[in-house]
Chains A and B, each alone.
Chain A
Amino acid sequence: MSVVERSKTQTAQQIANLKERPRGESLWGDALRRLRRNKAAVMGLLIIIISILGAFFADAIAPYDYKTQVRADNNAAPYWVTRIFPNMVPKEEGGYITITDKYPLGADALGRDLFSRIVYGSRVSLAVAFVGPVVSIIVGLLVGMIAGYVGGKVDNTLMRLVDIMYAFPTFLFIILLMAFFRASFTQVEQGTFAASVSELDASTGGMLFIFVGIGLTSWMQMARLVRGQVLSVREKEYIEAARSIGTRAPAIMRQHILPNILGPIIVAETLSIPQYISYEAFLSFIGLGVNPPTPSWGAMISEGAQVINTYPYQALFPAMALFLVMFAFNFLGDGLRDALDPRMRGVD
């Protein structure tokens, strides 16, 4: 090849390379790539997906039905469980525990399989774990960003609204809702508002009012967090730069502020998930929970806490399930935080 030809091919090559534009990576694409490489986050995501699948396919996974009682087997446990807790002494050794191998993790006070109830219980707890953040992020993010960015009277009014909601007597409200829609034992006429609310309640397994309660109580913390973040980010130079070139407020909030405040917000939200589950457990504890015999981790933990000195495994195993899911959400949350941090772009 002559020199001229070689340089022609080289030039052609370079032109071809130039034509193939590097795909401008968007923020989200960059984030996804980095998330994939974070092993812990991927593992967390896997665990969550498995839990969700488990909840969906509970019928296939759980060895027993969650409400079948074998009362004679109440509080029975396999032998290995008694080895973990020194105060659980089997009957054969002079104690009070009935040993049986029928149930993988033991049975509860009514002889129902604990493992099956944990699997079915994941439905309620995962539902709570998703509804909470969804409501919280949608409402809280919006309120917080507007309050923080616009400032002034809008900020003041929104924050006072947040104050009022913080002090809002949620328990009273839930009692009222339940009393109104659940408590009338006479048949409600079909087609009325009351009837459709009752149907919705029944179809969610008695969870409607818990969702309402969570919805009412979850978004305020997010709103205040977001506002705080926005306040500190608002004065940064790149915001001013964006404003100076004429970017409108919604665009600024979406493109510039949002990515920079996501970190603590995601973290706070993933960490609030057990708070939602505890809230549901607390509602069960004071008598406003799901209708029995529907299991939920929160209710199982608080029931297990009553017998923690006698049958500790009844609280321990649901708590471990919760812990595992929490860990998963935590790593996922961390991974998301790292992935979405624009400062980290191009670092990994």
Chain B
Amino acid sequence: MSLTRKSLRLIGLFMVFAMLTALVVSGVGAQDGKILVTGLNMVGADPDNSLDPSLSSTVQSIQILDELYIGLTHLNEINAAVEPGMTTDWTISEDGLVYTFNLLQNVPWVRYNAETGAVEEVADESGAVRYVTANDFITGITRTLDPATGGDYAYVLAPYIVNGAEFNAGEAAAEDLGIRAVDDWTLEITAPEAVGFAINIYGLWMARAQASWMLDEFGDSWVEAENRQSYGPFAMKSWNHDQDITLIKNPFWPGTDAVPQPALDEVVFRLLDDTAQFAEYQAGTMQAAVPPSAEIDRIKADTVLSEQYYAGFDSCSLYYGFNWEKAPFDNVNIRKAFSLAIDRDSVVNDVTRDGRIASRWYSRPGITGAPTLENNPDLGVSFDPDGAKAALEAGLADLGLSSAADLPPITLGFGDTEYNNLVAQAVQQMWAETLGVDVQLSAMETTTYFDVIEVDAPQIFRAAWCMDYPDANNFLYETTRSDSPNNYTNWSNAEFDALVDEARVSTDQAARAEMYARAEEILVAEDYALAPIFWYVTRQVVSPDVARTYSAIGLERYEKWDFAG
């Protein structure tokens, strides 16, 4: 036959062969036991895949660490209350400086043994089981604060332990740290000042127990599944880099009220981006996934999928900051005009459309101390075109200019990602329509952008902050106070500083809430230092076969999940 037909045949044969092979080999064996397959998006410009309590910095890593290592205190995912973690209880001294934790006793260190296929307790040379002791917590905290480790988040823990900051800066020795093992089951931490939310900090992922013998033996490779030792409700069964992380139930975890024994046998975290996750979810191979924002419209309109969709809490807050050192944003009326001209509802309803919440102020409602929309409905800023125009007039008058066309060229800078682009274009349009000002957009490569705004932020810059711990102090004291290194606006206000200083050390939650509300008012509605845009949400679809808890802290507690029926 002719060469043509032969070629066609060849192609056809190849295709059929490929398909057949695929079909034959693809029969995925049914898994025994209760195995939940969910997704983690660890793809991106900063994939932190150390899964090391002293080094981790992303929510995805913390999610895994929270299942492997339980902290001194534990955050309840439903009401964000502080509960005992690896402790039975704790006491705080009169002056609020000394915390004494009574640890759970006889909780063993475990590891997964691939040969036997089971989780086993770790034993020392003499064969005795190793239990989690106060010294292990000291090992962990010391390692985190050790400047040689170079952990990203040591700075969160350091201020709340005596000599913590000094040790981390290389000016003190490990022995000087204010932590002490009274005995195997009692840990004492001394804080340099009495701060109400410190109890929260001691439970964070960077202050978990770590096994010194494991670090000695395996060095940097201790994080791999075959070497890792943990003690929490799950142990790590396998970690195929860039593919998946499998956690297996730890039968030796005693189970407490706050952290029960898991009902699931295994949890598989597939490391995929959200489009791929959702495709797998729809194909039925995953029971929980993060759908892409773009699909939310379709999901909500779909009778089946809309039932499975849940928009959960995400601690991040997005804002456009104004650089006070650059004209014309040294003038409060100009800043006010630009902030009031942003139609935040339009941004979240027409542009992002995935459930994000139009924000009126900076700190995220739902964390301790932050104002909420229910309690403070009139606080902060919102879209006000007339107010914006009036403010622009006033600002122009202040500067001695006759019209908006006389303003110097204005640039909005941001990292070049899809949604940053969309929001920026929408807001650019809003400023053009309401104020008649043409703002230049400058989409920069993301890492370059981070580098540049630290030193020399543009007149308007996009920034976001996600909580390190669930307290308004993290937002208002640590990023917007006048001396904060995260404050790129170069703004300062003595009243604001005084308020956040006082709220930081107060233990009266009602008073704190009032102080933070007042501080927010100054920040966004009097000085207009920044223009809040929206608060993020997490997007999830979960199969109806799964019985789950709904988290309000941005992290799930998989030890409380189960398969329904």
Residues on A facing B (Cβ under 8 Å): 67-69, 71-72, 74-75, 87, 89, 91, 94-96, 109-111, 175, 178-179, 182-186, 287-289, 291-293, 303, 306-307, 309-311
Contact = CB atoms under 8 A, between A and B. Distances in A.
A178 to B, nearest CB: 6
Interface stretch (B174-182, B205-213, B220-228, B451-459): B451-459
Given A182-B444, A287-B417, A306-B418, 4 more contacts: A110-B426, A179-B445, A183-B442, A309-B295
Nearest to A174: B445
State the main secondary structure of chain A at its contact with B. Answer: loop
Given A72-B350, A179-B448, A185 B456 contact: yes
B350 A71 contact: yes
A292 B275 contact: no
19 contacts: A74-B351, A89-B301, A109-B422, A110-B422, A175-B445, A182-B442, A183-B448, A185-B452, A186-B456, A287-B445, A288-B416, A289-B416, A291-B442, A293-B425, A293-B428, A303-B418, A306-B418, A307-B294, A310-B297
Contact of B441 (A71, A91, A292, A309): A292
B130 interface: no
A8 B422 CA distance: 87
A87 to B, nearest CB: 7
Interface residues of B, number: 40
A118 to B, nearest CB: 17
B554 interface: no
B34 interface: no
B540 interface: no
A306 B346 CA distance: 21
Contacts of A95: 298, 301
A183 to B, nearest CB: 5
B353 A74 contact: yes
Contact of A87 (B292, B298, B421): B298
State the main secondary structure of chain B at its contact with A. Answer: helix
Contacts of B416: 287-289
A175 B422 contact: no
Contacts of B350: 71-72, 74, 110-111
A185 B426 contact: no
A185 B298 contact: no
A292 B421 contact: yes
Contacts of A91: 301
A178 B425 contact: no
A69 B423 CA distance: 12
A110 B298 contact: no
B415 A287 contact: yes
A109 B449 CA distance: 25
A177 B413 CA distance: 17
Contact of B443 (A74, A185, A292): A292
A108 to B, nearest CB: 10
A185 B411 contact: yes
B9 interface: no
B303 to A, nearest CB: 8
Contacts of B428: 293
B429 interface: yes
Interface string B250-292: 0000000000000000000000000100000000000000001
A272 B107 CA distance: 64
A69 B425 contact: yes
Interface string B407-419: 0000101011110
A18 to B, nearest CB: 49
Contacts of A288: 416, 445
A287 B419 CA distance: 12
Contacts of A186: 456
Contact of A110 (B300, B425, B446): B425
Contacts of B452: 183-185
Contacts of B459: 185
A84 B350 CA distance: 24
A251 B445 CA distance: 48
A291 B443 CA distance: 6
Contacts of A182: 442, 444
A167 B162 CA distance: 52
A289 B416 CA distance: 9
B413 A292 contact: no
